[in-house]
Structure formats: C-alpha cells, structure tokens
Amino acid sequence: MIEVKNVSKSFNGIPVLKDINVLFEKGKTNLIIGQSGSGKTVLLKSIVGLHDIEIGQIIFDGVVFNELDFKKKKEMRKQIGMLFQGGALFDSATVEENVMYPLDMFTEKSHEEKRERVNECLTRVNIVNANKLFPAEISGGMQKRVAIARAIALNPKYLFCDEPNSGLDPQTAILIDNLIKEITEEYNMTTIVNTHDMNSVMEIGDKVMFIYKGEKWWEGTRDGIFDSENKELNEFIFASKLSQKIRDLKNLH
Amino acid sequence: MGLFYHIGKYFVLLSRVFSKPEKLKIYYRETIKEIDKLGLNSIGIVAIISVFMGAVITIQTAYNTENPIYPKYLIGLTARDTLLLEFSSTIVALILAGKIGSNIASEIGTMRVTEQIDALEIMGVNSASYLILPKIIGSVIFAPFLTLMSMIIGIFGGWLAGISTGVMTTQDYIYGIQYAFIPYYIVYAVIKIAIFAFLITTISAYHGYYSYGGSLEVGKSSTKAVVNSSIFILLFNVILTQLLLS
C-alpha cells in the first residue's frame, strides 16, 4: 500500500502538484489518468523519489519514503520495479543482460541460477528466443515486455509504470496492460500506472485517480468513471468522437 | 554565480562518484571494459599524432638551427625534451578530450535523456558511481601508457623525418636524445597526463550526467565537455608545470 499525503511540488516556483492526497492499494492496479502536462509523470517520479517533494509525505507500507536518508532509500528501492515510457533498457546490453542486471547487482546467486531466473521472467512476459538480441533489434512492444521482466526480476513489492502503452498499437497495448494486471495479482504488488489511454482504464483500472492541472480532481473505480458528473473528467474521457458516440448510445438505452 | 554553481554541483557529483561501490566485481568488470573502450581504442589516434608531432618538431628545429654554431645533436635533444615535457602529455590530453570526452558526455547524456539513469536509480544503484567511477579509473590508469607510447613514437617520428629529409644523421639524433637526459621529465609527464585524464573524464561525465531534453541537448553537452575539458587541461598545465618544475 502506498499513501500520498498532502504532496506539493513546483519547478522554478511554478506549482506542478498541489496538495495531492491518495491511497494506492496492494494487489490492485491503480491508475493515474490525466491530460499531457497535468502532472502525472511528476507525481509518479515524486512517489519513487526521482523528484524531491517540497511538502507532504510518501508512505510505503508505513515507511515515510521521502524522509529516509540516501542509504535507506537505496535499500527500499530494491523493492521497487519501474517501467519507463520508452522502456529505458540499457542499449549496450542484450535482452538477457538487461534482465540479469538487478540480479547481478543485488544477489549472490550463481550464473546458472541468475540465468534460470532471467528465463523465468522472460517466459512470464512471453519473450522467447530473444536473449541474445539487443534492444535496438526488437520491437517497441517487446522492449516494454523486457522492461517488465527486468522490473520483476527481484520480486518487487511495488511496480510503477509510466505510460506503458504509449507508442504501441491498440492490440499490443492491451497485451501490455493485461500483463501488468496479471503480474500485479500474481505477485500481490502495489501497482501504479500512469496513462491517458481510456482503453487501459477499462481494461485494468481497479482504482482510478484523475489529475487535472496538478490537482486531484476525481477518484473512483473504472465503473464509476462514466457516471461521474465532473466536467473536466468528462471532457477528458469523452474527448474522442468514438467515446462520444458510445456515451450517446448508452444514454439512448 | 553560474561558475560557482557548476563547481559546487561538480563536487557534489564527485562525492557520489567516490562513495562505496555496490559490488566490486561488477565495477572491476566495467573498469576493464572502459580501459578497452577509452584506452585501447585511442592507441591508433595517439600513434598517428605522435609520429607527426615528432616529425614536425625535428624539421622545425632543423630549420631554426641551420647556423653551424648549433650542433646537429640539438635536433634530437629538442625533439626529446619537447615531446617529454609538453607534447606527449598536453597535446595527447587535448586529443583525448576531443575523442573520449565527447564519447563519455554523449554516452551518459543519452542514458540520461532516455531514462536509463533513472532506471538505475530506481533499482537502488548509485548511478553516478556505477557509470563514472570505472571511466575515471580506466582512463587514469591507461592514459600514462598512451603518453609513454606517444614519447617513443614521437621520437621515432622525429628520426624518420630527420633522416628522410637529410637534416641530420642517425648518430646525431641518437646522441641528441641521450644527451643530458633527465628521467624526472617522464615522471612529470605521467603525473600531468594522469591529472588531465581525471579532468577529462569527470568534466565530460558531469556534462553528460546533467544533460536534459533530447538529442540536441546531448550534442550541446558533448561540445561543452570538450571545450571545458580543454580549458581546464591548459589551466592545470600551467599550475602543474609551476608546481612540478619550479
């Protein structure tokens, strides 16, 4: 469980996050949705400590993460897996080396044991016969899956995904979404996903938080999202012609 | 103010670079890779430059000492001392600033803008230490070998130019390079290149590590890395010369 309490953050005096309060539950896929520039990525990076917050607390299962010293924060981060927007795989390393990296760095396992774990993780994300390929030699969807495999290599308690399906075709995007949801349930992790894709909301959104101009504007479940009377949220979810038609059809019935 | 800000930030980065490594075995492996990438791959360019440096010094010295009052061995002596005292350390360092400085800044800068450094941080890895320390160790260890190699090849280049243009004989040249030899000059050059290598690596890494934005900014960081490394090499050249030779 991750609790965000009264978090504010600004860049050069310009507020980007304003008094955010939210609870992300364990074993569930928690979604942060909002327009581009609304502060989603800043919030996610603030939670994992890549940005320092000015006010508030980030609490990981009772531990105030943002108040830990550098050494303790480093220790805590071993329990965190993150999937970045572009995958962030190491260019100069093969698929196998990428997934093996956290194992190399933080475990004393033998090479064979590490290899076994790598193959286990790669199989889990449906990557086969790609161990020796470099990130540049595989597709965007495969890169995201390898990044997920790397993120889960150390059995993390927390998984963060920053726009996991950006730049992917709708079918691959759904595959990635479902993979994140399955892994969350399998490993009983606290997962937070940043997205502006409404398909993701409908596929995996156990809990949804809508952020607007740096403020929490709405919070609820994917079922409740369409019944909301929040103007900004409605403008966001019914932005496309397709979703507007679906809404009109729903209203007709 | 900007200068002090960058100097402060540079030392903060260095304090992170020199903190205890997560796993020595991995750092050792990375250092070997860096020696190969930054050191061994620079042998070719250093060799080529050294041959021509030695050749030009020989020809210029011969041209300026045509008067019979100057002994012919002066050409070899000048070539030796110029290479040992200045060219094989400072000029080689300036060449390395262009070659490995831009390489380091663009490599780390690209890792920054593609969030690979963030990925390391999230895993709990001290990214500054992991990425920069092996480069510092690799270049500081290997750069003195490049300088020693440059001295030998430069002196050979001088001999080659001298005998092929007929400005002196092999005997004169060999006598010149042995005449009044001070071994401390080699120590002086090695100390200088080790410090220059440290400056090149850390300044370039600093520019790469704090890159932001996209490919354009990485290119700018790379340029800044080469320019600032070169300026600091020249500045420290004066300081070290005063400290070590006065």
Answer yes or no: are the C-beta atoms of B26 and A104 closer than 8 Å: yes
Q: Is residue A32 part of a domain?
A: yes
Residues A38 and A112 occupy one common structural domain: no
Are B116 and A104 in contact (CB < 8 Å)? no
Average pLDDT value for residue range B54-66: 94
Distance CA B208, CA B204 (A): 6
Q: Supply the pLDDT for residue A205.
A: 86
DSSP A130-190: -TT--GGGS-HHHHHHHHHHHHHTT--SEEEEESTTTTS-HHHHHHHHHHHHHHHHHHT-E
Q: How confident is the model at residue B1 (pLDDT cuts 50, 70, 90)?
A: low
Question: Which among B43, B45, B53, B63 has a CA at the least distance from the CA of B157?
Answer: B53
Residue A234 lies in a domain: no
**Does residue B115 form part of some domain?**
yes
> Where residue B21 falls among pLDDT bands split at 50, 70, 90?
confident
Of A48, A86, A90, the CB nearest to B122: A48
Residue A206 placed within a domain: yes
Q: What one-letter code names the amino acid at B119?
A: A
Out of A78, A86, A88, whose CB is closest to B124? A78
User: Residue A40: inside a domain, yes or no?
Assistant: yes
Domain of residue A6 covers: 1-79+157-223
Q: Residues of chain B with pLDDT > 90: what percent? A: 87
What's the confidence (pLDDT) of residue B116? Answer: 94
pLDDT at residue A253, rounded to an integer: 67
CATH code, domain carrying A5: 3.40.50.300
Test A77 with B121 for CB contact under 8 angstroms: yes
Per-residue pLDDT tens digits for A170-193: 888 888 888 899 999 988 999 999
- Residue B193 has a pLDDT of 97
Residues A149 and A171 in one domain: no
Q: What is the pLDDT of residue A85?
A: 87
Of A77, A86, A89, the CB nearest to B122: A77
- B182 in any annotated domain: yes
Q: Name B244's Cβ contacts closer than 8 Å, sequence gap at least 6.
A: B188, B191, B192
Quick one: average pLDDT of A24-41? 91
Domain match, A31 and A123 both:
no
Closest Cα partner for B16 from B138, B128, B130, B136? B128
Inside any domain, residue B132: yes
- Report the domain count for chain A: 2
The reported pLDDT for the residue numbered A246 is 75
In a domain, B144, yes or no: yes
At residue B120 the predicted structure's pLDDT band, cuts being 50, 70 and 90, is very high
Does A87 reside within a domain? Answer: no
pLDDT class of A231 with cuts at 50, 70, 90: confident
Q: What is the pLDDT of residue B56?
A: 96
A230, burial (CB in 10 Å: exposed 0-12, middle 13-18, buried 19+): middle
User: Chain B closest CA to A70's CA: distance in Å?
Assistant: 10
pTM score over 0.90: no
- Residue B158 φ then ψ, to 5°: -65, -45
The answer to whether A133 contacts chain B (CB < 8 Å) is: no
CB atoms B115 and A88 under 8 Å: yes
User: Is A116 found in the same domain as A5?
Assistant: no
Chain A positions touching B30 (Cβ under 8 A) are none
Q: From CA A42, how far away is CA A84, in angstroms rounded? A: 13
The half-sphere exposure of A30 on its side-chain side, counting CA atoms within 13 A, is 22
Q: How far apart are CA B78 and CA B83, in angstroms?
A: 8
Residues of chain A with C-beta less than 8 angstroms from the C-beta of B22:
105-106
Q: What are phi and psi of A229, to 5 degrees?
A: -105, 15
Distance CA A204, CA A211 (A): 18
Looking at the structure, tell me whether residues A53 and A164 fall in a common domain: yes
Mean pLDDT of A197-218: 87
The 3-state DSSP composition of chain B as helix, strand, coil percent (nearest 5) reads: 85, 0, 15
Cα–Cα distance, A47 to B50 (Å, whole number): 54
Torsion, CA B64, CA B146, CA B144, CA B15, rounded to 10: 120
pLDDT at A12: 87
Q: Say what the pLDDT of residue B92 is.
A: 94
Of the partner residues A88, A90, A102, the one whose CB lies closest to the CB of residue B118: A88
Chain B residue numbers with beta carbons less than 8 Å from the beta carbon of A104 are: 23, 26
Q: Which residue of A has its CA nearest to B124?
A: A74
CA A205 to chain B, closest CA, distance in angstroms equals 24
Q: What is the ipTM of this complex?
A: 0.85
In a domain, A21, yes or no: yes
How near does any CA of chain A get to the CA of B24, in Å? 10
Q: Does residue A147 carry a pLDDT above 90?
A: yes
Inside any domain, residue A245: no
Is A89 close to B116, i.e. CB distance below 8 A?
Answer: yes
- Whether the CB of A111 is below 8 Å from some CB of chain B: the reply is no
Is residue A176 domain-shared with residue A164, that is, in the same domain?
yes
Mutate to test the interface with B, among A106, A111, A152, A155 (most CBs of B within 10 A): A106
Least confident window among A64-68, A200-204, B93-97: A200-204
CA distance B17 to B131: 8
Report the gap between the CA of A197 and the closest CA in chain B (Å): 22
pLDDT mean over B143-167: 95
Pick the residue from chain B with its C-alpha nearest to A107. Answer: B23
CB contacts < 8 Å between A and B, how many?
53
A102 touches chain B (CB under 8 A): yes
Beta strands at A190-195 and A29-33: parallel, antiparallel or unpaired = parallel
Give A166's contacts in chain B (Cβ within 8 Å): none
Quickly list DSSP for B149-181. HHHHHHHHHHHHHHHHHTSS-HHHHHHHHHTT-
Q: Which domain-ending residue is among A105, A140, A155? A: A155
Backbone angle region of A159, left / alpha / beta, with phi > 0 → left and psi within -120 to 50 → alpha: beta
Whether A131 and A175 share a structural domain:
no
The reply to whether residue B124 touches residue A106, judged by beta carbons under 8 angstroms, is: yes
What number is the average pLDDT over the span A160-177? 87
What span, in angstroms and rounded, lies between the C-alpha atoms of A228 and A234? 7
Q: Which domain holds residue B225?
A: 23-245
Q: Is residue A236 part of a domain?
A: no
Contact (CB<8Å) B123/A90: no
What's the total number of domains in chain B?
Answer: 1
User: b/e for B146-175, b at 16 or more Cβ within 10 A?
Assistant: bbebbbebbbebbbebbeeeebbeeebbeb
Q: Is residue B7 part of a domain?
A: no
- Confidence at A86, pLDDT banded by 50, 70, 90: confident
Show Cβ contacts of residue A64 under 8 Å, excluding neighbours closer than 6 positions. Answer: A57, A58
Asked whether the predicted pLDDT for residue A249 surpasses 80, the reply is: no
Q: What is the torsional sign of CA B183, B200, B108, A137?
A: negative
Q: Looking at the domain assignment, is residue B17 inside a domain?
A: no
Question: Bridge partners of A20?
Answer: A7
Residues A74 and A164 in one domain: yes
Q: Does B1 fall in a domain?
A: no
A163 and A145 in a single domain? The answer is no
The pLDDT tens digits for A99-137 are 999 999 888 899 999 999 999 999 988 898 899 999 999
Q: What is the pLDDT of residue A37?
A: 87
Tell whether B74 is covered by a domain. Answer: yes
Nearest to A86 among B23, B115, B121 (CB): B115
